[in-house]
Structure 1
Amino acid sequence: MAKIIPFQAVKPTRDKVSLVASRSYQSYTQAEREARLDYNPFSFLHIVNPGYKYAKEISGKARYQLVKNRYLEFKEDGVFVKDKKPSFYIYKIVDRDQQTFNGIVAAASVEDYQNDIIKKHEDTIASRETVFKAYLKTVGFNAEPVLLTYPDNAVISNILAEIQQQRAEFEFTTTYRDTHYLWQIDNEAHIKTIVEAFAAMETLYIADGHHRSSSSLLLCNDLKAKNKNHKGDETYNYFMSFLIPESELQIHEFNRLIKDLNGFTKEEFLIELDALFRIENRGIIPYKPSKSHHFSMYLDGEFYSLFLRKSNYVFKTSLDKLDAQLLYQTILKPILGIIDLRSDKRIDYLSGKKDIINLKSKIDSGEFKVGFGMIPATIEQMKHIADDGLKMPPKSTYIEPKLRSGVTIYEF
């Protein structure tokens, strides 16, 4: 029984939303960030990078307090306004390829996360959880929702379709040529129907945002311990989420880039691979796999196909069948000596949404020695692994949609 509730979002005014909304800070190049910070005084980047106005890099607790200061200034200047009524919000994205994503921005229960009603499929890093918890505790808001997915539901779809017949409160197109729309749902009958529809669901799944949700649990435990009058309905008992039906979730792979062959020559490395894979040299023609347990490899100016010799590999769990895990167990760990996928500096990741030529370019530049490509995981695999209580390796999935920061903000 999933608990989803409406909340009073803080939002930009209609005339400024396109100026405020930003991608994640890390997704910008330095030149892009500086251009936006220099020429757009309303960009949300001014909040998350508060030291820019002082031409100084600021980190830790000092940065957190400045983030809060910038946020309060945006509210004081009327750039952000808090809604008067708890509401759900329909967020729709139509990307440049005409792929459409429809979902509901809502508050999801920390207790559901703790009790595994909201299920996880990726491990989290304790240090990152603690840092983000401290950040949230100081700034008092979250501007980037956790992406949750749920089984397609006709009742919810009908409400979304009905409300989208009206003019959207927000409509703006980004320089990526994605068009974003937002509708507010404050009708009590609609809210009741949505709450009941989610309450009938046994499970929700985290698609993206494992650290954000785990940090919200740590924050909730901290604030609950300090609140002698804790009731369970305080805003810190929830975290902002974007709930999207499974059929609209888009999953891409992350390709792997490795800086060296762990002391092997090219020929020795290929012989090591031959024990578990059928190898075919594809020459200079770009190759991308089309089946599970098939990989592409780019090495020394040539593409190779690697087909798993299934007679030599035993699938014991749902995780073993995941290509990212398979690559780790057969090549990255035993041959290339990469044990910790999160901290080893010899490995990097490239979103499969980018063309295979991007992988080739990084190898050809000399920055990396070998690259591996695979097909994306499926939603069924992701759910099965989560249901079994297992965790995918880091960077197993690159999931869309990606919402803009600063469009809806959750305060606690």
Structure 2
Amino acid sequence: MAKVVPFKAVKPTRAIVGLVAARPYDSYTIDERESRMDYNPYSFLHIVNPGYKYDKIITGDLRYKLVRNRYMEFKEDGVFKQETEPSFYVYKIVNRHGQVFSGIIAATSAEDYEKDVIKKHEDTIAKREEIFKSYLQTVGFNAEPVLLTYPDNDIIADIIKETQKGYAEFEFTMTYRDTHYLWKIDSANTITTIQREFEKMSTLYIADGHHRSASSYLLYKDEKAKNPNHSGKESYNYFMSYLIPESDLVIHEFSRLVKDLNGLTKEEFLIQLDAMYRIENRGIMPYHPSKQHHFSMYLDGEYYSLYLRKARYKFNTALDHLDAQLLYKTILAPILGIKDLRNDNRIEYVNGRHEIVTIKTSVDSGDFEVGFGMIPATVNQMKHIADEGLKMPPKSTYILPKLRSGITIYEF
């Protein structure tokens, strides 16, 4: 039974929301960040990068305190205003490729996270969890929702559809040509209906935001332990999420680029591959696989197709069927010697939307020796892996929609 509650969002005013909204901080290059802050005093980047004001890099607890100061200044200056009543928010994104994502921004339960009602499919790094937990405790807000997905539900879909017939509180287009819309749901009856529909669901799945949700859970545990009068209704019991139906979720793959052949010659490498794969040289014509357990490879100016010899590989769990795991177990680790996918600097990842061009360019330039492509994982694969309590390798999925910071803010 999933618990989803309305909350009093802090939001920019309609006139400047498009100036406030920002991509995640790390998705910008240094030049991009500085350019946006130079010319846009309302950008949320000013809050998360408070050192810009002093032309200085500031880290740790001091940065967190200054982030809190910048946030309070935005509120004092009227850039942000808080709702007077708890609400749900229907949020729609139409990206430049014409893909449409519609869902509900709400507060979701840290206890559900603890009890595995909210399921995970990716490993998190404990150090990053602790760092972000400390950040949340100091700044007192969360400005980017966790992306959750739920089974398609006709009643919720009808509510979203009817809500979108009304006047949008926000409608703005970003420089990436994605258009964003937001409507508020404050009707008590509609809120109750939405909550009851989610209560019927045994499971929600994290699509994107595993570290944010894990850190919010750690915050909940800390604050609960410190509070002798804990009631379960405090704001720290929840974290902000964007819930979209499974049919709206779009999953792209991440391709792999490897800097060397682990001391092997090209011929030695191909011979070792032959033990697990049927190999076909496709020449100079770009090639991308169309089936599960098939891979593309770009090596020495030529494309290859790799077809798994299934008799040589055992499928015991849902994770074994995932192509990113299969590539790791059959090529990256045993042949190329890449055991730590998170920290080995010999490997890099390219999201599948740019795969063919980026892999060819990166290998032809000499920066990398070989590149591998695959088809995307499916929503059902992601769910089955989570249901079995297993975790995907890092960079197994590139999931859309990608959310913006600063449109709705949840205060603890």
Q: What TM-score comes out, normalization by structure 1 length?
A: 0.99
Amino acid across the alignment from 1:25: Y
- Deviation by residue 1:242-272 (Cα, 9 ceiling, x = unmatched): 0000000000001111111111111111111
Partners of 1:359 and 1:167 in 2: how far apart?
Answer: 44
Partners of 2:215 and 2:25 in 1: how far apart?
Answer: 19
> Counterpart of 1:119?
119
Partners of 2:376 and 2:304 in 1: how far apart?
Answer: 19
Q: Larger deviation: 340-349 or 322-331?
A: 340-349
Partners of 1:286 and 1:62 in 2: how far apart?
Answer: 50
> Counterpart of 1:52?
52
> Counterpart of 2:252?
252
For residues 133-148 of structure 1, the aligned pairs below 5 Å read 133-148=133-148
Question: Following TM superposition, by how much is the alpha carbon of 1:229 offset from its aligned partner in structure 2, in angstroms?
Answer: 1.1
Quick check: 1:196 aligned with 2:196? yes
> Counterpart of 1:370?
370
Partners of 1:63 and 1:367 in 2: how far apart?
Answer: 35
Amino acid across the alignment from 1:151: P
Amino acid across the alignment from 1:251: I
> Counterpart of 2:157?
157
Question: Following TM superposition, by how much is the alpha carbon of 1:21 offset from its aligned partner in structure 2, in angstroms?
Answer: 0.3
Partners of 1:363 and 1:43 in 2: how far apart?
Answer: 37
Q: Could you tell me the percent identity over the aligned residues?
A: 71
Question: Following TM superposition, by how much is the alpha carbon of 1:314 offset from its aligned partner in structure 2, in angstroms?
Answer: 1.1
Quick check: 1:93 aligned with 2:81? no
> Counterpart of 2:353?
353
Partners of 2:378 and 2:13 in 1: how far apart?
Answer: 38
Quick check: 1:301 aligned with 2:310? no
- The answer on whether the counterparts of 2:261 and 2:336 sit within 8 Å (CA) in structure 1 is yes
- Deviation by residue 1:271-315 (Cα, 9 ceiling, x = unmatched): 110100011111111111000000011111111111101111111
Partners of 1:97 and 1:167 in 2: how far apart?
Answer: 24
Amino acid across the alignment from 2:166: Q
Partners of 1:342 and 1:44 in 2: how far apart?
Answer: 29
Amino acid across the alignment from 1:113: Y
> Counterpart of 2:212?
212
Quick check: 1:84 aligned with 2:84? yes
> Counterpart of 1:10?
10
- The answer on whether the counterparts of 2:255 and 2:355 sit within 8 Å (CA) in structure 1 is no
Partners of 1:355 and 1:279 in 2: how far apart?
Answer: 20
Question: Following TM superposition, by how much is the alpha carbon of 1:30 offset from its aligned partner in structure 2, in angstroms?
Answer: 2.1
Question: Following TM superposition, by how much is the alpha carbon of 1:62 offset from its aligned partner in structure 2, in angstroms?
Answer: 1.1
> Counterpart of 1:272?
272
Quick check: 1:312 aligned with 2:312? yes
3-state secondary structure, aligned to 2:89: strand
> Counterpart of 1:181?
181
- Deviation by residue 1:210-237 (Cα, 9 ceiling, x = unmatched): 1111111111111111111111110000
- The answer on whether the counterparts of 2:171 and 2:179 sit within 8 Å (CA) in structure 1 is yes
Partners of 1:76 and 1:21 in 2: how far apart?
Answer: 18
Amino acid across the alignment from 1:74: F
- Deviation by residue 1:342-376 (Cα, 9 ceiling, x = unmatched): 11111111111214111211112222111110000
3-state secondary structure, aligned to 2:251: strand
Amino acid across the alignment from 2:302: E
Quick check: 1:67 aligned with 2:67? yes
Query: Aligned-pair RMSD on alpha carbons?
Result: 0.8
Partners of 1:177 and 1:319 in 2: how far apart?
Answer: 36
Partners of 2:76 and 2:141 in 1: how far apart?
Answer: 16
Aligned residues: 412
- The answer on whether the counterparts of 2:355 and 2:373 sit within 8 Å (CA) in structure 1 is no
- Deviation by residue 1:351-402 (Cα, 9 ceiling, x = unmatched): 1121411121111222211111000000010001111111110110000001
3-state secondary structure, aligned to 1:353: helix
Amino acid across the alignment from 2:352: G
3-state secondary structure, aligned to 1:354: helix
> Counterpart of 1:402?
402
- The answer on whether the counterparts of 2:260 and 2:368 sit within 8 Å (CA) in structure 1 is yes
For residues 306-345 of structure 1, the aligned pairs below 5 Å read 306-345=306-345
3-state secondary structure, aligned to 1:205: strand
Q: Larger deviation: 22-31 or 1-10?
A: 22-31
Partners of 2:311 and 2:178 in 1: how far apart?
Answer: 46
Question: Following TM superposition, by how much is the alpha carbon of 1:31 offset from its aligned partner in structure 2, in angstroms?
Answer: 2.0
Partners of 1:175 and 1:282 in 2: how far apart?
Answer: 38
Partners of 1:269 and 1:140 in 2: how far apart?
Answer: 52
Partners of 1:120 and 1:138 in 2: how far apart?
Answer: 26
- Deviation by residue 1:160-206 (Cα, 9 ceiling, x = unmatched): 11111111000001111111000011110110000000001011000
Question: Following TM superposition, by how much is the alpha carbon of 1:26 offset from its aligned partner in structure 2, in angstroms?
Answer: 1.6
Q: Which runs of 5+ in 2 are unaligned?
A: none
Partners of 1:222 and 1:73 in 2: how far apart?
Answer: 27
> Counterpart of 2:289?
289
Runs of 4+ in structure 1 off by over 3 angstroms are none
Amino acid across the alignment from 1:14: R
Q: What TM-score comes out, normalization by structure 2 length?
A: 0.99
- The answer on whether the counterparts of 2:11 and 2:407 sit within 8 Å (CA) in structure 1 is yes
> Counterpart of 1:33?
33
Q: Which runs of 5+ in 1 are unaligned?
A: none
For residues 160-171 of structure 1, the aligned pairs below 5 Å read 160-171=160-171
> Counterpart of 1:221?
221
